[in-house]
Amino acid sequence: MEIKVIENKKNRFVFELPKVSHGFCNILKDQLWKDSHVKVAAYRVEHPLINIPRFVVETDGSETPKNALLGAVKKLDTVADKLKRELSKELR
């Protein structure tokens, strides 16, 4: 997955995710909001024909936005692995 960093500051991280769907962006945003140190977690697509989501993650300073993002991705990875195991059991 490609990531293009737009802004990288102490409490603010802005990046684009080319070729990523709204579905992934929404679950990532929702997971970020579960972190108590995250104050802003949002994305937008400036133009539907270009369709490149731009994320903004801001924290309260107790945690860097990059660490919050890495934590959210790690949790999503765990959830995806659990779903994969459950589906494998059911589809046997």
CATH number of the domain where residue 31 is located: 3.30.1360.10
- The region, left, alpha or beta by phi > 0 then psi within -120 to 50, assigned to residue 60 is alpha
Q: How far apart are CA 67 and CA 71, in angstroms?
A: 6
Residue 66 has pLDDT above 90, yes or no: yes
The rounded Cα 62 to chain-centroid distance in angstroms is 19
Q: Which domain holds residue 9?
A: 4-90
Mean pLDDT, the chain, integer: 94
Residue 11 has pLDDT above 90, yes or no: yes
Q: For 26-43, what is each residue's pLDDT tens digit?
A: 999 999 999 999 999 999
Instruction: Give me the number of domains the chain comprises.
Output: 1
pLDDT of residue 77: 95
How do the residues of the chain divide into helix, strand and coil, expressed in percent and rounded to 5? 40, 25, 30
Largest CA distance in the chain: 48
Question: pLDDT above 90 covers what percent of the chain?
Answer: 84
